[in-house]
Amino acid sequence: MKYRIGIWASAGFLVAGCWALYALATAPPALTSADPILTLVRLTCPIAFLSSYPLRLYWVLFANAATYALAGLVVESLRRRLNHAK
C-alpha cells in the first residue's frame, strides 16, 4: 500500500511540474483568469486555488504531491476495504 501511495504522490508532483513547464513555455500572460485551461489546472492541481498568494514552485510541487498522496491514501483504503469484503 505504501508503494501505491508513493505512486500517487509522484503523479501529483509530475502533474504540478508539467503545469509549471506549460506556464513557463506559454509566454508571460500564461493562464489568465479568462483562459479556459485554468479550469483543468484547478482540477488537477488543487493548490492553484490559492493563486492569489505568491507561492514558490517547490512549495506548489510539494503541496500537490501531498494532496495526491492524501487522495491516494483514501482511494487505496477504500479499494482495500471493498476487496476485503468480497
Number of folded domains in the chain? 1
**Is the dihedral angle over the CA atoms 55, 61, 66, 72 positive or is it negative?**
positive
SS3 1: coil
Task: For the beta carbon of residue 55, count every other beta carbon within 10 angstroms.
Answer: 13
Residue listed under C-alpha cell 503541496: 63
CA distances from 5 to 15, 18, 21, 64, 67 (A): 15, 20, 24, 13, 11
Range of the domain at 78: 2-85
The residue type of 59 is W
Tell me phi and psi for residue 62, to 5 degrees: -65, -45
Q: What percent of the chain is modeled with pLDDT above 90?
A: 41
For the chain, give me the number of helices (H) and strands (E)?
A: 3, 0
pLDDT in tens, 59-70: 989 999 999 999
What's the whole-model pTM score?
0.81
